Chains A and B, each alone.
Chain A
Amino acid sequence: EPEVTQTPSHQVTQMGQEVILRCVPISNHLYFYWYRQILGQKVEFLVSFYNNEISEKSEIFDDQFSVERPDGSNFTLKIRSTKLEDSAMYFCASSEANPTQHFGDGTRLSIL
């Protein structure tokens, strides 16, 4: 069964550094998403992406965050200057035209 893949599985970064989280969505999917989950809390929407542009973003997705689809397969989330509170699991998801979203196994981001 096709799946969403994310790299790295764990990223440790110093506060203030830039970090890029990578995702390869399912190949025929058109809609791409990033979510995050702070330890012990609920899964929170960050941003959705369709047709090479952001279609929706949450209050969490401020100017420190950006997304890109640099080629036909990758979908990246960049955090420009990381803060301690950015420590979380980051999940990428993708969907076809229907709304059912499939999640990758996540990147654990630890900010020191």
Chain B
Amino acid sequence: RKEVEQDPGPFNVPEGATVAFNCTYSNSASQSFFWYRQDCRKEPKLLMSVYSSGNEDGRFTAQLNRASQYISLLIRDSKLSDSATYLCAVNKGYGGSQGNLIFGKGTKLSVKP
């Protein structure tokens, strides 16, 4: 099983649609979880950290299910500017350890007018 696995995509959706991305991770000791977005040939930009209780930031909602080792990202009312590749990242550190980020391959989203 790959360390971090994401929906292969691409997702092509109309403006205003709701789209959900899924991610699974293999290391049950993982402690920190993130969603990044990456535009073509640009750096990953932090979108959201993901907490056990779930968290919301405007149109974006992230959920973590530790029992299933599963992370999700929901985008509501999608905009053209949401078009990007969405990367799931997991920090394998425990407690105070920083550790490295393990990234999934990403899911490409294209929002069409």
Contact = CB atoms under 8 A, between A and B. Distances in A.
Interface of A: 31, 33, 35, 41-45, 48, 50, 55-56, 58, 89, 91, 93, 95, 97, 99-106, 108
A44 B103 contact: yes
A44 B49 CA distance: 19
Nearest to B104: A42
B49 A103 contact: no
Contacts of B93: 99
Contact of A33 (B34, B41, B100): B100
B29 interface: no
Contact of A99 (B32, B44, B45, B87): B32
Contacts of A95: 98
Contact of B102 (A45, A91, A97): A45
Top 3 A-B pairs, shortest CB-CB distance: A45-B100, A103-B43, A43-B103
